[in-house]
């Protein structure tokens, strides 16, 4: 019975998966709030995330989320990865309440970015 369940699971998972994205392993971290910085725009802020401690061999698949005190549930852009490399990536965030960059910088003093990279 267990064998049949296993065969069924393996058959299904190999059918629906294009590729095993976990094959190369996962590595992640929590970036300090001091990495938030202003951009040329007045409605968003940016973080250059440093993932070099993971020693990825190729640009991995990066995933992000934010923990914090105030207003992080209003953010848009935290899942949009820019310029992914072995060593890091960039995110740009904006708030749907229209907060300006000054307010975002104040709020970001409590926003920690947690991220994971899956080596493909």
Ligand X SMILES: *[C@@H]1O[C@H](CO)[C@@H](O)[C@H](O)[C@H]1NC(C)=O
Closer by beta carbon to ligand X, 86 or else 103: 103
Closer by beta carbon to ligand X, 100 or else 114: 100
Closest residue by Cα to residue 77 from 98, 46, 112 = 46
Closest residue by Cα to residue 39 from 116, 109, 113, 91 = 91
Applying CB under 6 A, which of residues 20, 32, 43, 58 lies at the interface with ligand X? 43
DSSP letter for 23, please: T
Tokens 């989320």 correspond to 65
Closest residue by Cα to residue 62 from 94, 109, 27, 38 = 27
Could you give the 3-state DSSP secondary structure of residue 30? strand
Binding of residue 106 to ligand X (CB under 6 A): no
Binding of residue 23 to ligand X (CB under 6 A): no
* Least Å from the CB of residue 100 to ligand X: 4
* Least Å from the CB of residue 91 to ligand X: 18
Applying CB under 6 A, which of residues 11, 13, 20, 42 lies at the interface with ligand X? 42
Contacting positions for ligand X (CB under 6 A): 42-43, 98, 100
């Amino acid at each position: 019975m267990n064998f049949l369940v296993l065969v069924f699971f393996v058959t299904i998972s190999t059918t629906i998966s294009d590729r095993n994205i976990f094959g190369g392993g996962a590595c992640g971290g929590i970036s300090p709030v001091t990495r938030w910085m202003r951009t040329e725009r007045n409605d968003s802020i940016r973080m250059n995330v440093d993932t070099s401690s993971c020693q990825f061999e190729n640009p991995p698949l990066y995933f992000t989320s934010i923990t914090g005190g105030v207003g992080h549930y209003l953010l848009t852009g935290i899942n949009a990865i820019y310029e992914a490399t072995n060593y890091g990536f960039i995110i740009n965030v904006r708030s749907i309440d229209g907060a300006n960059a000054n307010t975002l910088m104040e709020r970001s003093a409590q926003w920690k970015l947690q991220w994971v990279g899956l080596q493909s």
